[in-house]
Homo-oligomer: A and B are copies of this chain.
Amino acid sequence: MSEQEKLIDEWFHQEEGLTEKQKKIVAAAIESFAAKGYAATSTSEIAKKAGVAEGTIFRHYKTKKELLLAIVAPMMAKFIAPFVINDFNKVLNHDFERFEDFLRAIIENRVKFLIKNMPLFRILIQEIPFQPELREQFKEHIANKIIERFRIIVEHYQAKGQIIEMPPYSVIRLTVSTVFGFIIARYLLIPEAQWDDEEEIERTVHFIMHGLTPPRSQ
């Protein structure tokens, strides 16, 4: 998987036939979009930061919005790739005896992906409210495909009695919002606090599994 992962992660920076200038443009755009938002970033600023002429941007990307999508779309694709690849799914279903193990694997894998690509993740969640195309892509890929796969997994663990009876979508919602809540708090809202990452992830997993109630009280 790590092999696979590496390949996927390096997709962006080495594949897709991006020219040297294009890479600079994309890097500059990511930096500025993440920092100031798409709407508040001017193409001239991107050009300056990338060290290219303003026209060069429009040679590669017909419009500013196309540049945004060219940045965020592959990131979404890479994020979901591991879920989509059949082998990976099979592994999932058989390798993890317990839901907790599955959860840890997800966090190990996908959360680290997001952390590694934090500026892109930031752009994604910052711009999704404003860009219908982005929202569309997001819903199509994440909602429609991934959630279905998750549903099957959740039902699998529910059948095993490891997850309480509850509509799978609610399970997903609760799990996902807890995990994303950690990433957002940790890396976007309060990055300056002192975080014991391992401990905090442990607490997060424990919370998803057991909630806030101590064992004895039940």
Would you call A213 an interface residue if the criterion is a C-beta within 8 Å of the partner chain's C-beta atoms?
Answer: yes
Interface on chain A toward B: helix, strand, loop, or mixed SS? helix
Residues on the B chain within 8 Å of A122, using CB: 129
**Contact between A164 and B214 (Cβ–Cβ < 8 Å)?**
yes
Interface size class of A (residues with CB under 8 A): 35 or more
Would you call A82 an interface residue if the criterion is a C-beta within 8 Å of the partner chain's C-beta atoms?
Answer: no
Residues on the B chain within 8 Å of A161, using CB: 214, 216-217
**Least CB distance, A41 to chain B, in whole angstroms:** 9
> Using an 8 Å CB-CB cutoff, how does the interface string of A17-52 with B read, 1 for contact, 0 for none?
000000000000000000011011000000000000
Residues on the B chain within 8 Å of A171, using CB: 212
Sampled A-B contacts (17; CB under 8 Å):
A37-B129, A39-B40, A40-B130, A126-B129, A129-B188, A163-B212, A164-B212, A164-B213, A165-B214, A173-B182, A174-B203, A175-B212, A180-B181, A207-B211, A208-B212, A209-B213, A218-B218
Given contacts A37-B129, A165-B214, A177-B181, 17 further A-B contacts (CB under 8 A): A37-B37, A37-B130, A126-B130, A129-B188, A161-B217, A162-B213, A162-B217, A164-B210, A166-B203, A170-B203, A173-B181, A173-B182, A174-B212, A176-B181, A177-B178, A178-B181, A213-B218
